[in-house]
Amino acid sequence: MLTFYRRLYPFKSIFHWLNHEHTPTKLFMNREFAFTLQGDVYLRYQSFTTADELKKQVCAMNPTRFEIGPMYTARPRDKKLARPGAFQPVMRELVFDIDMTDYDSIRTCCSDASICSRCWAFIAVAVKVLDQSIRNNFGYKYLLWVYSGRRGIHLWISDREAMELTDEQRKALVGWMTVIQGGKDQHKKVNLRLSLRQLPPSILDSLEVLVPAFTDIILDDQDCFRSEEGWRELLHLIPKNYVESLEDKWEKDYDRSSHSKWEDVKNEIKTKTQKGSQPRLTGTTAMEDIILQYTYPRIDAEVSKHRNHLLKAPFCVHPKTGRVCVPVDPSTIDDFNPERVPTVGQLLRELDQAKDTGDEHHSDWEKTSLKPYVEMLDKHALELMEEVRRVKRERGQGVHLIRRHGLHALTGRFSDTSW
Amino acid sequence: MFSIRKKFVAEVEKHSTLKYPHRLNFYDQPPLGEVTIEEFETCALDRLRILAEIESSFARNRPWEELKRFTLEQCSKYLRLDASSAHKQDTEAQRRKDHLGHFVLRLAFCRSEELRRRFVKAETTLFRIRYEEDDRQEREEFLQSRKFGWESVEPEEVKQYASQLKAAASTYLPPKEFEPNLEADKYYKVPWTRVPDLVERRKVFLKGGKAYVPSKEQSSIVFEEFQRSLEKALLVTLKHLPRLDEDTRIFPLLDNLSQGFLAGVSSEWSSTTSSATGDEITADMVDELSRRHFPMCMRHLHDTLKRDKHLKHFGRLQYGLFLKVLGLSIEEALAFWRRSFSGMTDDKFNKEYKYNIRHSYGLEGKRANYPAKSCQQILLSDQPGPQDSHGCPYRHFSLDNLQTALLSMYSSQGLTVSDLPEVVSTVKSGHYHVACTRVFEITHTAQGLKKGEGVDDGESVTHPNQYASRSRELEKKVKEEMDVDVTVT
């Protein structure tokens, strides 16, 4: 682990991404870091003035992982010095957490902690829907998706407006995003509309992604309704008047595929109702709701609601799997295979093999398969920093910045070898 | 006049000819100019009456429409605020009073978290009531005059997003209307963070971080803005408050005002010494009256007096002044007290009590004509000790005792066990005068009083004499009506 932190972990990139500028600002200096040390000792309210300082401390403590919290009104390590009540979280990336365990009731391939490329498809759909919805509806641009190392994915949004959201506003946003509600003992978990009205516009948009996903994942791949348990669950969601005949049919045809069963439902509604009639509407509405219930992103709402929630830093190593929490490009999310994400052991081996090329170096990650992922974060941070610079320039502070950093600050080569 | 002037005056020369072009006011400019201490106080008191009415309406769980009706009635009494089109009225003066009152109350209510929260709630409600009542065009002008940071959505854009807007509309339209009329509806764009409540319930269409708010929901932006800016302003006021220290006249006044919220505002009873009905009453009548018309505090004092043949000092004071205002003359009062203190000799009575009674009628000592105590005074000053029987039963009785007492005193007038939970819960939340008002309503249903009507047009009890005289008025009215019936037949 120590070698990983010392030689591979991209501290500089993380610093840029959190700080939004080259010179350390409050965004970094007042930021809380929390370390999980060996033996599950949890150390909160750490803070650092520079990336070097962070690296030094991480190497000294060698934590199994560390988490990132909000920027506070004062430096977290001076928390005890602050007046009571004056130590408050101010800014924080808007974060989302999607975890495979929330899908346990519908996935058939694995359960609990395990994950395979097949269940990753659920995550892929969630990423597509959320990414599209946040960009279109809320207008945020700087989204960083990070694989959580095992069976989930995190989203960090770094737009200034998103960072400044209050807890109340975060709660509203999460409310907007939450579609699936209700516990184990409630069959129907989607309640979006007043009687048979149209769906809200944002959900309507996401249906475009969800309908094909429903066919691919639920009907074909996961085959959710083949087992008796599966199709009985489905029947709970279908209007009462169709249930009996369907139940008869499926009880007799023991091994009927999910695909055929879904066709049965469709036919049943089509033959029994007139086009444009009220019962037909009831039927199609129910079908839409079923699609949503099986495919709409299930987010862990508590993570997003509060500014002071801590979330594991990108590029940490998941203690159970040994996989690195790497950034993920949402446009190629379908091709992402969590089983191919480099593990820390693999990276260290690669490093050994490359050793003959030179001395120990900070940016040794360039010699390993971590390279594309670090570059992804660098590119993201660079865009973010350019935006911040642009805003500053518009405010007339640009001159000051150029004078301090020279022109290269504007051309933005920060991942150069001087680090 | 002096230091208020200092506070408000700084820019006195600046003001333009028309200071209040709109009926609605966001109160972001403090009033400038001179003001007398009397005006300072009356403006605030009148406004406080309205806010107290709103508070007690909330406490009594009145539906919105009813709350609005009662509040508007009170407004027309104490704080008229007419539309600009009302040429006959001096709208300028009305608005100045409204403006001034608001700012004085800010001073009084910025001082604790609790007061701030209640003040903001009541003020926002008052604003909302006026906003809804306002003339459509004038409201539009008012909205135009302020920067809410919204943009109107162009008709082309409405067309472009027609399907999404329709879909969003389906979440809030009333049940019968499936299709919103997009041409007629105006839409406004605001950053979504301004309308988090609408976003959370997915009631708006969002595009690029902007919420498309239909004009129907536009008010939600306005109210949110009003509330937010008032909250902020109160904190600023709090910071500046210590600078007011130099004027000794203001702080007692502000203290008084902020207490007004606890007990309701004392009404004008204190100034009118004669009975409102104009009837003289005699010592013989008191017993009968107490059973039919007295509020609980006085009823309790009367019963105690009868039982113990004595009352302690503050009890005598509270009850004696009440009787005086009710119309008991000094001769009758002496007769009443002499008869009530039946266990003592004439000599003792004359020596120890007569002076006191004459004193309270302004016939001894400094010859001040003392007013009867208002609910506020009864609730807040001279807290009763273990042997005392004065005070406000709703506040100073234990809940068990209160319920027993209520039943034994008022069951003959129609109060039943089923009424108790409501009264008790109001008491528990600290709205003693509301509880008293509710009891008044219950015990006067026979005279045709309905729930929510309060003592008079929805007013709550703020003075024991108000309670008693209103009760007598109601009885008289019923009697007169019956008399009419009798003569007709």
Token reading at B482: 């019956």
User: Which one of A132, A137, A208 would you mutate to disrupt binding with B, by most B Cβ within 10 Å of its Cβ?
Assistant: A137
A161 in B contact zone (CB under 8 Å) = yes
Q: Does position B18 have pLDDT exceeding 80, yes or no?
A: no
Q: Is A53 a catalytic residue?
A: no
- What is the structure's pLDDT at B262? 57
Nearest CA in chain B to A171: B200
A172 in B contact zone (CB under 8 Å) = yes
The domains of chain A are located at 2-173+299-411, 185-295
- What is the structure's pLDDT at B276? 44
Residue closest to B295 by CA, chosen among B446, B461, B423: B461
Cβ-nearest to A172 among B197, B205, B210: B197
Our measurement of the distance from residue A333's CA atom to the centroid of its chain's CA atoms, rounded to an integer in Å, reads 12
What residues have CB less than 8 Å from A166, skipping those under 6 apart? A307
- Are the CB atoms for B450 and B69 separated by under 8 Å? no
Q: How confident is the model at residue B260 (pLDDT cuts 50, 70, 90)?
A: low
How far is CA B475 from each of CA B331, B445, B461, B479, rounded to the nearest angstrom? 27, 11, 18, 6
3-state secondary structure of B488: helix
| Rounded-to-10 torsion of CA B45, B47, B50, B52 | -50
Cα dihedral across residues B437, B443, B449, B455: positive or negative: negative
Class of domain A2-173+299-411: alpha beta
Mean pLDDT across B449-470: 82
A6 in B contact zone (CB under 8 Å) = no
Residue closest to A7 by CA, chosen among A344, A399, A325: A344
Residues in chain B with CB shorter than 8 Å from the CB of A137 are 206-209
Q: Using the beta-carbon criterion (under 8 Å), do B200 and A176 form an inter-chain contact? A: yes
Residues 176-195 in B contacting A (C-alpha not used; CB under 8 Å): 178, 191-193
| Alpha-carbon radius of gyration of chain A | 25
- What is the structure's pLDDT at A151? 85
Residues in chain B with CB shorter than 8 Å from the CB of A176 are 199-200, 202, 206
- The C-alpha of B400 sits at a distance from chain A's nearest C-alpha, in angstroms, of 41
Token reading at A249: 């049919």
B209 in A contact zone (CB under 8 Å) = yes
Residue pLDDT, tens place only, B306-338:
888 888 888 998 999 999 888 888 888 999 999
Cβ-nearest to B200 among A139, A171, A194: A171
User: Does pTM top 0.80 for this prediction?
Assistant: no
B5 in A contact zone (CB under 8 Å) = no
- What is the structure's pLDDT at A408? 46
User: Which one of A134, A194, A196, A281 would you mutate to disrupt binding with B, by most B Cβ within 10 Å of its Cβ?
Assistant: A194
Q: Is A228 a catalytic residue?
A: no
- Taking one residue from A and the other from B, the number of pairs with CB-CB distance under 8 angstroms is 71
Q: How confident is the model at residue B15 (pLDDT cuts 50, 70, 90)?
A: very low
Cα–Cα dist A344/A4, whole Å? 7
The answer to whether the annotation marks B75 as part of a ligand binding site is no
Residues 259-288 in B contacting A (C-alpha not used; CB under 8 Å): none
The answer to whether the annotation marks B43 as part of a ligand binding site is no
Residue pLDDT, tens place only, B265-299:
444 443 343 444 456 788 888 888 888 899 999 99
- Are the CB atoms for B219 and B129 separated by under 8 Å? no
Q: Is A32 a catalytic residue?
A: yes
Cα–Cα dist B310/B166, whole Å? 75
Residue pLDDT, tens place only, A214-228:
998 888 888 888 888
3-state secondary structure chain A: CHHHHHHHCCHHHHHHHHHCCCCCCHHHHCEEEEEEECCCEEEEEECCCCHHHHHHHHHHHCCCEEEEEEEECCCHHHHHHCCCCCCCEEECCEEEEEEHHHHCCCCCCCCCCCCCHHHHHHHHHHHHHHHHHHHHHHCCCCEEEEECCCCEEEEEECCHHHHCCCHHHHHHHHHHHCCECCCCCCCCCECCCCCCCCCCHHHHHHHHHHHHHHHHHHHHHCCCCCCHHHHHHHHHCCCHHHHHHHHHHHHHCCCCCHHHHHHHHHHHHHHHCCCCCHHHHHHHHHHHHHHHHHHCCCECHHHHHCCCCCEECCCCECCCCCEECCEECHHHHHHCCHHHCCEHHHHHHHHHHCHHHCCCCCCHHHHCCCHHHHHHHHHHHHHHHHHHHHHHHHCCCHHHHHHHHCCHHHHCCCCCCCC
Q: Across the beta sheet with A143-147, what order do the strands follow?
A: A94-99, A152-157, A143-147, A327-328
- Are the CB atoms for B248 and B300 separated by under 8 Å? no
Enclosing H/E stretch for B190: strand B187-191
- Residue ranges and CATH numbers for the domains of chain B are 2-143+225-263 (1.20.930.80), 151-221 (no CATH), 268-488 (no CATH)
Nearest CA in chain A to B173: A194
The angle formed by the CA atoms of residues B126, B127 and B132, to the nearest 5 degrees, is 100
Our measurement of the distance from residue B482's CA atom to the centroid of its chain's CA atoms, rounded to an integer in Å, reads 34
Mean pLDDT across A65-86: 88
Residue pLDDT, tens place only, B82-99:
777 766 677 788 888 888
Residue pLDDT, tens place only, B460-479:
888 898 898 888 888 888 88
The ipTM (two decimal places) reads 0.80
